[in-house]
Structure 1
Amino acid sequence: MNAPELLLIDPIPQSGMPMDALDLLVIRCGLAASQRVGARPLVRGLGPEAFAAMCAACVPGEALENGAAERPVFDEFEELFELLMEHAAPLDQTGIWLSAVIATAAQRDNHLWQDMGLPSRRELSSILRQRFPTIAALNTGDMKWKKFFYRQLCQRAGVPICKSPNCTDCVDHSVCFGPEL
């Protein structure tokens, strides 16, 4: 899909499930990490209204501009965003925001929890189990999350040999590409 504007999501009614501390932590850390690396947009896949609603709910009083990409981006954002939204439980505003934040961060070069600005892998695993339980349950071997998501995308596409995410500069290359337990 070459038209990112087709993915722009505007708010849908809340399911009644309040945002908890972990939801807020993940979204706030994701926004901060995007700001730190100078990403534009800060969070992909959200229309202006959805981005404004997310900021109002998660970082009230902060005047954040989402911005736009300077040139077309060819990566797996759209596919991962769709995969996460399919597994969001519930698929409410928060689920959409989390899907966008996670899929945005997954396009960077480090471990996903690092790309999201989270304190450790534990918080990422917790949010995935809490908000995306069906896909989290498929990671039975505790594979690194970014690698796991790319494998899921390859399976969906029917690709038998799956290229891993860009990991060439990662300091933990040998850990990720060693045997999974």
Structure 2
Amino acid sequence: MNAVATDLIRLIDQSPSLEVLVLRCVLAESQRAGERPLIRGIGPASFALLRETCLPGVELDNADQPAARFDEFEELFELLLDYAAPLDPMSIWLAAAIATAAQRDNHLWQDMGLPSRRELNALLRQRFPSLAALNVGDMKWKKFFYRQLCERAGVPICKSPSCGVCVDHPVCFGPEV
């Protein structure tokens, strides 16, 4: 086990808040997946504060690399910030973490490294309550966010992100019974 993994395990045992746990999961999942930056949209000073708040004593590099493909990071980041309550550094970090993970190919909770959708639901209700309240049909979060972006852009038909490569494609798009 490497030093970063050992430090992460030590920190998880300290019973932090849901927000801190989620950010730790996102950072660990981004690192596991070899993503760079680990969380987009956060400058060096803000990332240093995030690291000190969530992972004190753990050295992580958030070095930026240009996005290899077109994505909706900025639009989703802005959507989340518009609904953040309160709009504080933690909400900004969480919005950036969610928007970063949403560019990946699986369910959002999986792309964030969370154990289940339940933690993502709780986080969204806690930090983005009025946006979470709009999801009255309990739509999967990534799909819901992209629908919100389509509504903002005035696009009547909205394709879900990465459906063709999602592991649950047969479940979501299988024949009706």
* TM-score, normalising length: structure 2: 0.86
Name the CA distance, whole Å, in 1 between partners of 2:146 and 2:125: 18
Is the Cα contact below 8 Å between 1:41 and 1:66 reproduced in 2?
yes
Determine if the alignment matches structure 1 residue 79 to structure 2 residue 45.
Answer: no
Name the CA distance, whole Å, in 2 between partners of 1:176 and 1:144: 10
Name the CA distance, whole Å, in 2 between partners of 1:99 and 1:178: 32
Name the CA distance, whole Å, in 1 between partners of 2:66 and 2:104: 17
Q: What is the aligned partner in structure 2 of residue 171 from structure 1?
A: 167
Shift of 1:174: 3.5
Shift of 1:72: 5.7
Name the CA distance, whole Å, in 2 between partners of 1:65 and 1:40: 9
Q: What is the aligned partner in structure 2 of residue 104 from structure 1?
A: 100
Which one of the candidate residues 36, 60, 63 is aligned to 1:64? 60
Aligned length: 160
Name the CA distance, whole Å, in 2 between partners of 1:54 and 1:140: 32
**Structure 1 pair 71–98 and aligned structure 2 pair: CA distance change class (3 A):** closer
**Structure 1 pair 160–92 and aligned structure 2 pair: CA distance change class (3 A):** same
Q: Which runs of 5+ in 1 are unaligned?
A: 1-19
Name the CA distance, whole Å, in 1 between partners of 2:173 and 2:135: 16
Shift of 1:175: 3.3
Is the Cα contact below 8 Å between 1:167 and 1:173 reproduced in 2?
yes
Name the CA distance, whole Å, in 1 between partners of 2:166 and 2:45: 35
Name the CA distance, whole Å, in 1 between partners of 2:172 and 2:41: 28
Determine if the alignment matches structure 1 residue 44 to structure 2 residue 40.
Answer: yes
Is the Cα contact below 8 Å between 1:45 and 1:100 reproduced in 2?
yes
| Per-residue CA distance 1:90-111 (angstroms, 9 max, x = gap) | 0000000000000000000000
* TM-score, normalising length: structure 1: 0.84
Q: What is the aligned partner in structure 1 of residue 86 from structure 2?
A: 90
RMSD across aligned positions (CA): 1.5
| Per-residue CA distance 1:115-172 (angstroms, 9 max, x = gap) | 0000000000000001000100000000000000000000000001101101212221
Between structure 1 and structure 2, the one with the greater Rg is: 2
Q: Which runs of 5+ in 2 are unaligned?
A: 1-15
Determine if the alignment matches structure 1 residue 156 to structure 2 residue 157.
Answer: no
Name the CA distance, whole Å, in 2 between partners of 1:178 and 1:72: 31
Shift of 1:68: 1.0
Comparing 68-77 with 97-106, greater Cα deviation is found at 68-77
